[in-house]
Amino acid sequence: MTTPLYTITLDAGHFTTDGTQSILEAALAQGVAVPFSCQRGECGSCRATVVDGCHEHITPPTERSYVTAKNELLMCQCRAASDLALRFPHWHAPVHASQRRQATVLSRVPLTDDVTQLIVQVDGEAPFAWQPGQHVEFLVEDGSRRPFSIASLPVAAGPAQLEFQIRRMPGGGFTERLLPRLMPGDTLSLEGPLGACTWPAEGWTDDVEHLVLLATGTGYAGVYPILMAALQSGQFKTVTLYWGGRTADDCYAAPMLNALLGKGSGFQWQAVLPHDAPGQPGGTQTTDAATPADAATAPPRQAYVQDHAAAADHDWDRTVVYACGNPAMVRAARERLRLAGLPDDRFLSESFLPATGAGSIAVPAPAHPWERVGQRFTMDGILSARRRSLTAVREIAALMRPGMTTREAITAADEHLRRMGASHNWHPTYVRFGADTQSPSIQPTDFQRRLREEDVFVVDIGPVWDGYEGDYGDTFVLGADADRQRCAEAARQVFHSTREAWLQGLSGAALYDRAEAFAREHGCELVRELPGHRVADFPHALYGKHKLADADFVPADGIWVLEIQVRDRTLPIGAFYEDVLLR
């Protein structure tokens, strides 16, 4: 009897399966890019919306399983029982493969005192295609990269010409030293297209009737192509741009935007300047209810693009939002507009970290095959995700209250991560109380255990922030018990001592041998079941699921997580600490 073949259709293509293996295994075996991470059904990364077709569960769900919606499945836990059509609302495969290309400078023109328009033409006969909203990275001689939005629309024919709008950063290696010297005919190396904050190839569905664009500074360059694509499509009832700047001159495209007012799709735009009150036009000072004497001394209220958008009474159920600019704006806008009623999957964003005076941190060279990274990987992305996870763990720990169960604690932690802007988790959130702190994450959790007035607990999170994993964990103590505090501090000290050994050139395998010795010095034993893992742009599992403890080479900077779990040698308590290995 011939085994039937089923076709799995995705937005970006299709693959086949005979239904005897998981949908995820079939996709990976055929080289199809799909999101996944833990492969245990716990993290939810491989969830997909079922558009059509039937499937069967390979294993029944457990308490640790990710809870899917009625129209979703986990690819790692299900097999096809017919042809299937699946979608990934939380993840998009790249439409155009990233390329490394040479480009020739065509022009360099000042737009303001500190913003420059740079236009380049991509060299070579091979086409260079991109989607509105994507960016490229310029490759600098020192090994660093500088991301800039493509402020121009793709053309159907002819050489690809890319426009960039670049703000001068004081001390910036690219904007102060390289950019001012560029002349027509000079060449640059670039890589792209990159980014998923894009205009969809087929446009938006009919239930989306309004478009809101948020930009700060030269983030306008990122939303401008979206604006033009929207106006050309004619599919929106209204298109509104909020552009934040320090002064009116920062809105350097004002003449062009004013010329577009009212010309199709009900286009409007507003400059948002410091101290503008929401609901008032740009440049209007707010006085609130202060008396004239009070107003003379009280600091003016700061206003932001998301405040103006939220105050404008948009029909958020039928709106899609694109945000491009500094990361603080993007995070705050996502949360503010979600609370206003914007659906989670209708907020698309791109945020860029300015390079420091010493130049942006270079992407580590893949010295070993285990250390591959994705096309969009930058060290700045890892550092930003790490900072947000450190903050999240501290804030989640502050939410823990005596009497709450582990299940209640995990629910509170996940809700807090969503409020902070995490798109999802690459591994389940782990919170462990009391004696459970001895157990690694691979062992079952007692979800009914309650936190006591004097207790020890672990918070271990793996959120995805703007496409980067931010894995971090720490241990906290309620009360003043000296043994619990010693054990919690032991995990941190073992981590820091092991990191110092890494800086001296030890391999990954040797690090865990050294960590075992360090743990004994603190009256603890090392839990070897947690071997450390890769981290990168999401999902790192596409590049391999290798273990740090198995690495017979010196791990590279910024792409490995060192996990330290210890147990007290005499008492039923443990502790956990993990962080990215950074120089």
Looking at residue 287, its pLDDT comes to 28
CA gap 46, 28 in Å, rounded = 12
Sheet-wide strand order for 187-194: 145-149, 135-139, 187-194, 99-110, 115-122, 161-167
Same domain, 562 and 526: yes
pLDDT at 497 over 60: yes
Same domain, 12 and 81: yes
CATH of the domain at 235: 3.40.50.80
Give the chain's length.
583
Sheet-wide strand order for 72-74: 13-17, 6-10, 84-87, 47-52, 72-74
User: CB burial class (10 A; 0-12, 13-18, 19+) of residue 428?
Assistant: buried
Q: How far is CA 466 from the centre of its chain?
A: 2
Same domain, 279 and 327: yes
Same domain, 391 and 319: no
C-beta of residue 26 within 8 angstroms of C-beta of residue 7: no
Cβ contacts of 243 within 8 Å, gap of 6 or more: 215, 216, 220, 251, 269, 270, 271, 272, 305
**Structural domain includes residue 373:** no
Take residue 58 and report the two structure tokens written for it.
């390979």
Same domain, 410 and 502: yes
Look-up: residue for tokens 């050994």? Answer: 501
Same domain, 398 and 467: yes
Query: Could you tell me the residue range of the domain that residue 68 belongs to?
Result: 6-87
**Structural domain includes residue 369:** no
Question: Cα dihedral angle (417, 421, 424, 429), rounded to 10 degrees?
Answer: -10
Same domain, 193 and 288: yes
**Structural domain includes residue 377:** no
CA gap 290, 510 in Å, rounded = 65
CA gap 90, 348 in Å, rounded = 11
Cβ contacts of 77 within 8 Å, gap of 6 or more: 22, 41, 57, 58, 59, 61, 65
Quote the pTM value.
0.59
Chosen domain end from 328, 362, 396: 362
Angle in degrees, CA 23, 14, 423, rounded to 5: 65
Angle in degrees, CA 401, 407, 410, rounded to 5: 75
User: pLDDT by residue (tens digit) across 368-386?
Assistant: 888 887 766 777 788 888 9
User: CB burial class (10 A; 0-12, 13-18, 19+) of residue 161?
Assistant: middle
Chosen domain end from 87, 103, 125: 87
Nearest to 576 by CA among 428, 481, 507, 477: 477
Chosen domain end from 34, 68, 87: 87
Look-up: residue for tokens 């103006």? Answer: 308
Nearest to 498 by CA among 547, 559, 575, 563: 563
Looking at residue 375, its pLDDT comes to 60
**Structural domain includes residue 339:** yes
Percent of the chain topping pLDDT 90: 56
- Give the pLDDT band of residue 501 (cuts 50, 70, 90): very high
CATH of the domain at 422: 3.90.230.10
- Give the pLDDT band of residue 26 (cuts 50, 70, 90): very high
**Structural domain includes residue 341:** yes
**Structural domain includes residue 514:** yes
**Structural domain includes residue 296:** yes
Same domain, 26 and 166: no
CA gap 561, 391 in Å, rounded = 17
CATH of the domain at 44: 3.10.20.30
Instruction: Choose between 541 and 559: higher pLDDT.
Output: 559
Looking at residue 360, its pLDDT comes to 43
Return the DSSP state at 173.
I
C-beta of residue 301 within 8 angstroms of C-beta of residue 286: yes
- As beta bridge partners, residue 580 has 561
pLDDT at 513 over 70: yes
pLDDT at 283 over 50: no
Nearest to 165 by CA among 127, 210, 222: 222
- DSSP letter for each residue of 531-580: --EE--BSPGGGG---BGGG--SPPPTTSEEEEEEEEESSSS-EEEEEEE
Same domain, 254 and 282: yes
Nearest to 2 by CA among 23, 26, 19: 19
**Structural domain includes residue 272:** yes
pLDDT at 5 over 60: yes
Same domain, 309 and 167: yes
Instruction: Choose between 440 and 360: higher pLDDT.
Output: 440
User: pLDDT by residue (tens digit) across 347-367?
Assistant: 888 766 555 444 444 444 556
Return the DSSP state at 51.
E
Domain count, the chain: 3
Same domain, 343 and 439: no
User: pLDDT by residue (tens digit) across 146-202?
Assistant: 889 999 998 877 789 999 999 998 777 888 889 999 999 999 999 888 877 888 877
Same domain, 70 and 41: yes
C-beta of residue 137 within 8 angstroms of C-beta of residue 115: no
CA gap 75, 92 in Å, rounded = 16
